[in-house]
Chain A
Amino acid sequence: MAGFPYIPHTDADVRSMLDRIGVQKVEDLYSDVPKEFIKKGAYALPDAMSEPEVRAWLNGLAGMNAKLKVFAGAGAYDHYTPSVIPYITSRSEFLTAYTPYQCEISQGTLRYIFEYQSMVCELTGMDISNASLYDGPTAAAEAMKMTVACTKKKTRVLLSKGLLPHVVKVVETYAKFHGVVIGYIPVADGQTSLEALKAELESGDVAGVIVPEINRFGIVENHAGFADAIHAVKALLVEYCDPSTLAVIKSPAEWGADIAVGDGQSLGIPLCFGGPYVGFMGVKKEYMRKMPGRIVGQTTDKDGKRAFVLTLQAREQHIKREKATSNICSNESLMALWVTVYLSLMGPEGLREVNKLSCDGAHYLKSELLATGKFEDPFPGKPFLKEFVLKPVKAPGLVQNALEKAGFFAALETEEGYVSFCVTEQRTKEEIDQLVKTVKEG
């Protein structure tokens, strides 16, 4: 019998263990399984590979994927990852630990989660953060459920049409099964319409409203008056935000939000085809008890040493069972560490600089693209940071294809027939000039 590196049992081990148990052979340990359910014949799996073969095979598959310069965003951003981060997150004391149930030997995990919570509160301005959620869209879905749980007997949640489509779809899926009715607020003149919102709120059954700080056209929205209108009918304001940009634009708290959610991916997490990312949530203190997910708190041990523990657990599924606001248990702890290390390295200045570089680059790209005469600006003068949309003279698909052939992933089509571009600090002036040249020649 050839050995296998992940299973240490020798023949002698197996024999002595079977003898101690008092059975003849390993198969006897399945004597309680009805015979008809014991699988007969081989499994339809490939032959086992050796480690070098697995390495070669996966390098081959990785090589089958296109390597393009990413000029697209739409919820996933190609920001720079400092080399320190993967080095720290691959430390196996972090990587191979479970949820910190035994706090005495999990202070590493508990401390970084506490730091993460502190940073989420700092960025969003909210009072309380949890230990993380799966991703931005599921964080929005959790917020949707939370608004219903916090506002008694109300069953409708409004979504801005300015939210990214992948966020809307996830919220809709959760709402359908949770028995929540979804309404929509249109976008007018490039931003979620306050007039339309006010009209929708009149029905009195609205529990919460989810609006994007930066909408799917890349426009930084002005939410003055939103919180007042929403609070007047005792509903909750949820701001969906890109945390990287909160270094420069108004925080959810400054807009009067009750809940802030979004995806931490923009804080240095690789694109990785959509995951793992990390959802975050910050809430006002009064809604702490309805907050989903784990929360870490500070206390002292029996000798008075500062210590950190999972706390407020009576909110959670394993205690509240069917009365819990959420079923979430494990979240994205290691990605929360990723974000925490990122924010530690970048600090306030680094984050502002990332925004400045991205914003300047994006404005440069936009003006250069408009100068080609091949696009119109559907939202002239509207404020944006790293992302914007243009209306192409040609069919949108043709623009994308041409850029793809030249090595760029750009010009994602929106439902209106616009194309979107995104520039992060990773894009150089040469790359932008090359992209514009491709457009000109196309």
Chain B
Amino acid sequence: MSKIVEGLKYSESHEWVKVEDGVALVGVSDFAQKEMGDITYVDMPDVDDEVTAGEEFGALESVKAASDLISPVSGKVVAVNEELDEAPEKVNEDAYANWIIKVEMSDPSELDDLMDAEAYKAHIGE
């Protein structure tokens, strides 16, 4: 049974978004980290890169797989979680405590297209 946190927004491709002071924190769900298994690398964009909702901004890698990270929102990357460079396993340990990028949203209304916890729970069928 995967953990789902109330109050976050979720995408179909298993990213979560949490808005703090107008900035979107983006990570992956517990379900996604479990599907990947031991994560060995988080491929992240550079600060100041533009991301677009529905398009990839990076990837998770395990020993035998790679999975694209799809941005749930559009905007400019204002921070990347550099801790994950050294310790990608943090995503396995707690997928919600370890955001991947922070995005200054260009269109916050995109958040309305995302799922709430209830809908996401139904989406992953657990």
A residues whose Cβ falls under 8 Å from a Cβ of B = 289, 313-314, 319-320, 323
Contact = CB atoms under 8 A, between A and B. Distances in A.
B26 to A, nearest CB: 20
A319 B65 contact: yes
Contacts of B40: 314
A441 B111 CA distance: 87
18 contacts: A289-B41, A289-B43, A313-B63, A313-B64, A314-B40, A314-B41, A314-B59, A314-B61, A314-B62, A314-B63, A314-B64, A314-B65, A314-B66, A319-B64, A319-B65, A319-B66, A320-B66, A323-B66
Interface string B37-81: 000110100000000000000010111111000000000000000
Contacts of A319: 64-66
A105 to B, nearest CB: 19
Nearest to A311: B63
Nearest to B66: A314
Nearest to A318: B64
Given A313-B64, A320-B66, A323-B66, 15 more contacts: A289-B41, A289-B43, A313-B63, A314-B40, A314-B41, A314-B59, A314-B61, A314-B62, A314-B63, A314-B64, A314-B65, A314-B66, A319-B64, A319-B65, A319-B66
Contacts of A313: 63-64
Nearest to A309: B63
A285 B65 CA distance: 22
A342 B77 CA distance: 49
A184 B63 CA distance: 40
Please classify how large the interface on chain B is, using the bins under 10, 10 to 19, 20 to 34, 35 or more. Answer: 10 to 19
A290 to B, nearest CB: 10
B124 to A, nearest CB: 23
A294 B59 CA distance: 20
A395 B59 CA distance: 60
Contacts of B61: 314
A313 B41 CA distance: 11
A313 B66 CA distance: 9
A330 B61 CA distance: 22
A313 B63 CA distance: 7
Contacts of B66: 314, 319-320, 323
Nearest to B60: A314
Contacts of A320: 66
Rank and list the top 4 A-B pairs by shortest CB-CB distance, nearest first. Answer: A314-B61, A314-B66, A319-B66, A320-B66
A154 to B, nearest CB: 14
Contacts of A289: 41, 43
Contacts of A314: 40-41, 59, 61-66
A289 B65 CA distance: 14
A390 B62 CA distance: 56
B68 to A, nearest CB: 8
A384 to B, nearest CB: 43
A426 B41 CA distance: 48
Contacts of B41: 289, 314
A320 B43 CA distance: 13
Nearest to B68: A323
A298 to B, nearest CB: 15
Nearest to B56: A323
A424 B72 CA distance: 61
Contacts of B63: 313-314
A117 B106 CA distance: 46
Nearest to A321: B66
B113 to A, nearest CB: 25
Nearest to B46: A152
